[in-house]
Structure 1
Amino acid sequence: MAEASTLQDRYRACLILSGAGDALGYNKGDWEFEQNAEKIHKEVAKMGGLAKLDVKQFPLSDDTIMHLATAEALAEMDKDAPLEQLYGALVKKYISCMGDMHGRAPGLTCMSSTHLLQMNPEGDWKIPFNQRAGGCGGAMRAMCVGLRFPSPEQEHHLVAVSVESGRMTHHHPTGYLGALAAALFTAFAIRGQPPVEAWGHRLMQVLTKAKEYVREAGHCVNKNMEHWNYFEKSWEKYLETRGILDGTGKPQFPEPYGVAEREQFYSSVSFKGTGGASGHDAPMIAYDGLLRAGDSWTELANHTFFHGGDSDSTAAIAAAWWGALYGFHNVPPKNYQGLEYYSRLSDVADKLYQLRE
């Protein structure tokens, strides 16, 4: 990672670049779920390329609004506050942020689930199991959990908070385990844990802890266990494909691995052909792009911002991890300075930095 990037810089970059990735991948809704990736890349080129994209012209989507809600709830809680108190704060933030969704394309599951939360008694964060809640709405907003609980000694808190925050709207393992992956890889990135290609192997180990947690939490256990394997098996297959299931060696990519080849691959790992729309494949595509890009912001964007499918969610996740690793290293200022809610993102990053231990 760039030597000039202090840990505090990387905290800020994690949240700010996540927002930038979201905004660029969303492009006012024109690129999110656009299935023709070649069209997106041609439009980026017509605009002068990534370095010329002025983020002032790209509003945030629902992803960053909900990520801010998570981050601000985490930042406002006292270090020693019980997790139940944090969960109550998260509920309030998620309900409140729904008032800032005009033009941001909030997901139907997030909207319907926050309505359920609103009807709960105050402090109750639990909603029923939902067989249709395997989308990426829990994952796209959980990266900051890894900023709050970055150390190995805090892993039990990271597991609990990512799972519970995720299933406040996405009460299905495919949904909330995406939140776990997003948070866990952020923690790995912020503590500079190498090598990146070993992160997937470590996720498979932490999934065992998450399974134990869900069983011990006692909420809809049978339904959760019944639907548990899809996320785990999907990631196992992906890591095998890249040759890094055991956490050793370098990831194996086909050559060429251009736009068409990536689109075919992203579709193949998705739930129903829309790359990045589910809790398992949004962090998976983000991770794939991170492995391929190294410290190149441009390559990260090409792989995770500008693709057919749920491009703003994969962008938000991948850019958060990249920022946590590399700070603002070689990122064109136009891509993030002037971002909507820049100050809020920077301020909450500083607060999470202070709370990290």
Structure 2
Amino acid sequence: MAGSVPADDQRLCFEACMVLGGVGDALGYRNDTWEVCRSGERIHEEAKELGGIESVNVTPKDWRVSDDTVMHIATAEALLTEWSDSDQLYSAIALKYKECMRDMAGRAPGLTCSSKVHMLKPHAKEGWVIPFDRKGGGCGAAMRAAPIGLYFWTPEQLDKLVSVSIESGRMTHHHPTGYLGSLAVALFVSYSVQKRPLREWGAGLLHTLDTAKQYIIQHSPQRDHKEHMDNWTYFEQYWKDYLALRQLTSGKTDAVFEDHDVKSVKERDAFYKSLSYSGTGGASGHDAPIIAYEALLNTWRPAGDKRRQWIDLCEHSMLHGGDSDSTGIIAAACWGAIEGYTGVPENHYKNLEYRDRLASLGRNIYKKINM
């Protein structure tokens, strides 16, 4: 259990969650060449030509972070501001999201995030609220939500995790498929800090969706209730189907892969694509966390060769023909929250762009919530 983890180890896990999230993004992005490549086999061939993904020296020149990490940083910075109530926090998040748009050159920001951030009015009353968006189901809210799971990581803070992840998510992705992706990632990071068994994560998410639905009903204009509820089942049903496939619905048994194993890169691409909304695995709020979860289930073990597990996680979550930087940042952030830097080659994070900034944010979140 999380309570048994030594304080120094837990502090390092907070730091690693932030830093390795950036690593997962940078590796999956590869300066916008791998993110847009729709062939996992080609990506793996290119990685092999580089000496294998484990040999890559992640530097700002060749492996800069994308918009995912920039907004991951913005979320953390907002949480670290001086706020005493939800309104102040949401205003701070909105402001940080607007400010971070100045750092998007060469980082391929998503169209939804870019356009919706301009609608935010951080200094106005409820200026973080934008209209419901029928096209707001992308992964942009999910990719930046890991810091919320760090800040509100205890089971007793679940209601707060739900509200903050939803409100921060729908600042740009005001659609259940979008903002529930934010909830899923924040929840999975909190489970990572708790050292909760992976088999329980999906079932825990389904249970938490009931809380999320009640929150939306209570904190959305009556006129929008039908829109939310009409679009709610898409996210929920995809997760139910995935958990049934892996026999994880109860959360009491380990994942089963025999009947639906995905061993080759080509098979994995096809499986990820089958989970998607429009053919790009990981591009939406429902499938980005599913793919990250699937990658962790396939690669992480409580014991064993951690370096091999990390490399396998990279290959499953960052080197595929979908939205590989978004699935990468989620999976790697969870790894960091569970394992710290254990198993991760130093060349993956030593020279990462914004490494010191990310590390400081992780440490400061730990310090602030333990004051």
TM over 0.5: yes
Are 1:161 and 2:149 an aligned pair?
A: no
**2:156, 2:86 → 1: CA distance?**
16
1:260 — aligned with what? 266
Specify whether residues 28 and 215 from structure 1 end up closer, same or farther in structure 2 by C-alpha distance, changes over 3 A only: same
1:67 — aligned with what? 72
Supply the AA of the counterpart residue of 2:352: L
1:158, CA displacement in angstroms? 0.1
8 Å Cα contact 1:150/1:356 also seen in 2: no
Are 1:11 and 2:17 an aligned pair?
A: no
Specify whether residues 223 and 14 from structure 1 end up closer, same or farther in structure 2 by C-alpha distance, changes over 3 A only: same
The correspondence of residues 208-357 of structure 1 with structure 2, limited to 5 A, is 208-219=210-221, 220-253=224-257, 254-255=260-261, 257-294=263-300, 295=306, 296-357=309-370
What is the RMSD computed on CA atoms of the aligned residues?
A: 1.6
Supply the AA of the counterpart residue of 1:196: L
8 Å Cα contact 1:85/1:123 also seen in 2: no
8 Å Cα contact 1:73/1:90 also seen in 2: yes
> TM-score, normalised on structure 2?
0.92
2:178 — aligned with what? 175
Deviations 1:293-315 (A, max 9, x none): 11511110010000001000000
**1:267, 1:289 → 2: CA distance?**
14
Deviations 1:113-164 (A, max 9, x none): 0111149836511000000010000000001101000001110100000000
8 Å Cα contact 1:184/1:203 also seen in 2: yes
Q: 5+ residue gaps in structure 2?
A: 301-305
1:105, CA displacement in angstroms? 0.3
8 Å Cα contact 2:280/2:322 also seen in 1: yes
Supply the AA of the counterpart residue of 2:229: M
1:230, CA displacement in angstroms? 0.3
Aligned length: 353
1:355, CA displacement in angstroms? 2.6
1:351, CA displacement in angstroms? 1.2
SS in 2 for 1:355: helix
**2:210, 2:33 → 1: CA distance?**
39
**2:297, 2:311 → 1: CA distance?**
13
1:110, CA displacement in angstroms? 0.3
8 Å Cα contact 1:147/1:356 also seen in 2: no
1:76 — aligned with what? 81
Supply the AA of the counterpart residue of 1:216: Q
**1:116, 1:67 → 2: CA distance?**
20
**1:177, 1:115 → 2: CA distance?**
22
8 Å Cα contact 2:95/2:122 also seen in 1: no
1:215, CA displacement in angstroms? 0.4
Deviations 1:86-111 (A, max 9, x none): 00000100001000000000000001
